[in-house]
Amino acid sequence: MGVGDVSKRILLGRKLRSSQLGETLLPKRIALPVFASDALSSVAYAPDEIFIMLSLAGASAYVWSWKIGIAVALVMAAVVASYRQTVHAYPSGGGDYEVATVNLGSRAGTTVASALLVDYVLTVAVSISSGAQYAASAIHPLIGHEATFATMMVIVLAALNLRGIRESGSYFAVPTYLFMVSILGMCAYGMAELVFGDLPEVASARLEMAPTPGYGDSMTTFALLFLLARAFSSGCAALTGVEAISNGVPAFRKPKSKNAATTLLLLGAIAISMMISIIVLAKQMGLQLVDPSDMDRLTLDGKPLPADYDQHTVIAQIARAVFHDFSPGFYLVVTVTGVILVLAANTAFNGFPVLGSILAKDGYAPRALGSRGDRLAYSNGIVFLAVMAIILIQVFDAETTRLIQLYIVGVFVSFNLSQLGMIRHWTRHLKTETDPGERRRMFRSRLINTVGLTFTAVVLVIVLITKFLAGAWITILAMIVFYVIMRKIHGHYEKVNEELAADEEDKVLPTRVHAIVLVSKLHKPTLRALAFAKATRPNVLEGVYVSVDPEATNRLLEEWDERNLGVPLKVLHSPYRELVRPIVDYAMEIKKANPRGVVAVYIPEYVVGRWWEQLLHNQTALRLKGRLLFAPGVMVTSVPYQLRSSQLVREREEREGAWVRPSELRLGNVPDRETDRQVPR
């Protein structure tokens, strides 16, 4: 086994057979941290964005924070209820894409797919960037290096996911549950202090906040409504990740739909509880939070803040105050929050590859995205997602507030089209369903999806109005680019399928086969190629040699005549010392003389065992094959000749158990790749 193979096995683990796919299915206790970590972790930055938006009008606007939190919670409850209908109706894992395609058409499905692909990339970028900010709050040397730290985390997360969904889920279960326990425990303790009147203030409560010019007491009613709408749209970032479960239903254990619906319900209940609790505590503890670029609006006793002042996140400030006498509690909350924000991107690493594989199957994405790797994960999709997220992190310097403006546009586009598709789904089935009980269930499901569509449509309009100029236009542009690319890919595959469709003309045999064997020297590879060409019984067989040196040509002609091979040798003179072009031109002349015939070109090639040997041989053959591939009616056949060094490859395959000896094959014994035992078939 080579160094590369050893490294791959260390990083990814042993290979898994296709028959082991069932072993990778997830129970609910693992599925919750795998698919819900994104939505759960959004409570670490959604409240921050609400307070940052409201701070434009000064601290007095924070009175609206809990009301905005309730509005976001209502939308989340409606979306969760709607997706519970989706996982029952469409358990195949297509999620929003499948719902839109089946009920609204392929263009709507492609729109949803483009929105989801962009949203998955942003999920990784936003979650990891926010996690890097939390890490910098706890580890001072990381301040100023958040983008580098975030990039490293993306690479680590991608490597873990390449090991397979079940194994990565096991890694992520403990920190996800620890995050839920620590946040809910912190909130419960803080609420108890609030009830008994012992709730402390956060560190930023001592600061004074000046409103942004144009806001504050002089703000008009319209400006206030616009501000509240901006805060609400930013808070709706808490809804991202809800759709991931509908895309990941195939990964659940049976009964798949029931387990997915239960996981969705748990996700909604936990996320809403945490978000509302954090917003209420932050308001009651006197939080003062502004955009990192507007720090000059904060003062202490009328004086500007020090240049090195570090504004911590909402959860970090609450944890510091609640656990003022118990510092391990603060470090636990901050640490697990940072970890869960990194791991939250795992939702996208599970959703994006599955969606990519479905798109590849339908012909809207490159076929490579539909291939499973050694560990039965969609490796190409995982790598592509990681690369795109790293680019975003570097471009936006891992600043969550800048990235959040690009966020949630795509997911709400998919929400709307999915809910509209579900309404049409139930309407179509109601036309044929006659059972009263089943009709009542369908009416109830359609009502739930209608409410969900109403809520998500309102949110989408608000998001587009309030975030378009702030960066949402970039997301919309990216969605358009993905949409156009997918339609072009689909059109290409359709054209290829039409061209490749077999018809009666394909049964017609060529009228003539003119075979040529390329000759460089009269040695064993050439003689083997000549023998193989003779065995195919072509109508015409000749050797072809390109002459660039008269002396070498004369020696070859003499040796050819001495051996009396029974095959004529055609010499092509090349005054400009070209090797490839004369052969291509000669093959095309033969084809032009007999349009219904076939030109068969046999190329002797060396088989070597070391990578550097490949650089020393076969380069002319590679160039020639590349040119002849575009020549119609010309067939190219490589005739390999194994050099001694190629035995190294064979011996390595034997050691790995990949080589089946002929004697074992005749006996019906095939090596078991996992145990290296001979298993009778």
When comparing pLDDT for 467 and 208, which is higher?
Answer: 208
Residue 152 has pLDDT above 60, yes or no: yes
Residue 213 has pLDDT above 50, yes or no: yes
Range name among 182-191, 216-225, 256-265, 489-498 with the lowest pLDDT average: 216-225
This prediction's pTM:
0.69
Residue 102's domain comprises 3-304+311-495
Q: Of the candidates 467, 495, 523, which is a domain's last residue?
A: 495
The domain that holds 599 is classified in CATH as: 3.40.50.620
Range name among 309-318, 368-377, 638-647 with the lowest pLDDT average: 368-377
Query: 56 and 198: one domain?
Result: yes
Nearest to 161 by CA among 475, 372, 414: 372
For residues 53 and 211, is the Cβ–Cβ distance under 8 A?
A: no
Q: Of the candidates 495, 527, 556, which is a domain's last residue?
A: 495
User: Average pLDDT in the 290-304 region?
Assistant: 83
Distance CA 517, CA 251 (A): 53
pLDDT at 680: 43
Domain membership of residue 679 (yes or no) is no
pLDDT tens track for 102-133: 999 999 999 999 988 888 888 888 888 877 87
pLDDT at 653: 60
Identify the DSSP state of 252: B
pLDDT at 279: 93
Confidence of residue 274 (pLDDT cuts 50, 70, 90): very high
Tell me how far apart the 2 most distant CA atoms of the chain are, in Å: 110
Domain membership of residue 434 (yes or no) is yes
pLDDT at 517: 94
Distance CA 420, CA 425 (A): 9
DSSP-assigned states of every residue in 216-227: GGG--HHHHHHH
Query: 491 and 413: one domain?
Result: yes
Query: 451 and 545: one domain?
Result: no
Confidence of residue 507 (pLDDT cuts 50, 70, 90): low
Residue 1 has pLDDT above 60, yes or no: no
The domain that holds 172 is classified in CATH as: 1.20.1740.10
Domain membership of residue 681 (yes or no) is no
Residue type, 113: A
User: Average pLDDT in the 388-412 region?
Assistant: 81
Sort 512 into a burial class: Cβ within 10 Å, 0-12 / 13-18 / 19+: middle
What is the tally of structural domains in the chain? 2
Residue 314 has pLDDT above 50, yes or no: yes
Q: Could you give the 3-state DSSP secondary structure of residue 537?
A: coil
CA distances from residue 468 to 122, 230, 484 in whole angstroms, order as listed:
16, 11, 21
Query: 434 and 520: one domain?
Result: no
What is the percent of the chain with per-residue pLDDT over 90, rounded to a whole number? Answer: 25
Domain membership of residue 656 (yes or no) is no
When comparing pLDDT for 482 and 665, which is higher?
Answer: 482
Domain membership of residue 338 (yes or no) is yes
Residue 590 has pLDDT above 80, yes or no: yes
When comparing pLDDT for 499 and 217, which is higher?
Answer: 499
Nearest to 86 by CA among 73, 74, 100, 72: 100
Highest mean pLDDT among 88-92, 509-513, 534-538, 649-653: 534-538
Residue 612 has pLDDT above 80, yes or no: no
pLDDT at 243: 77
What is the percent of the chain with per-residue pLDDT over 70, rounded to a whole number? Answer: 86
Range name among 217-226, 263-272, 351-360 with the lowest pLDDT average: 217-226
Query: 21 and 44: one domain?
Result: yes
Distance CA 80, CA 539 (A): 71
- Beta strands per DSSP E along 486-633: 513-518, 540-547, 569-573, 598-607
pLDDT at 601: 93
Residue 183 has pLDDT above 70, yes or no: yes
Residue 618 has pLDDT above 70, yes or no: no
Distance CA 115, CA 411 (A): 6
Query: 39 and 134: one domain?
Result: yes
Nearest to 363 by CA among 499, 502, 492: 492
Average per-residue pLDDT for the chain: 82
Residue 668 has pLDDT above 60, yes or no: no
Query: 149 and 268: one domain?
Result: yes
Tell me which H or E stretch contains 29: helix 28-41
What residues contact residue 383 under an 8 Å CB cut-off, 6+ apart?
A: 158, 162
Domain membership of residue 346 (yes or no) is yes
User: Residue 366 corresponds to which tokens in the numbers above?
Assistant: 């490159």
Confidence of residue 662 (pLDDT cuts 50, 70, 90): very low
Unique residue bearing structure tokens 């109403």: 454
Query: 573 and 486: one domain?
Result: no
Distance CA 187, CA 322 (A): 9
When comparing pLDDT for 609 and 255, which is higher?
Answer: 255
Residue 664 has pLDDT above 70, yes or no: no
Domain membership of residue 671 (yes or no) is no
User: Average pLDDT in the 502-523 region?
Assistant: 82
Domain membership of residue 664 (yes or no) is no
When comparing pLDDT for 642 and 428, which is higher?
Answer: 428
For residues 317 and 278, is the Cβ–Cβ distance under 8 A?
A: no
pLDDT at 677: 43
Query: 122 and 229: one domain?
Result: yes
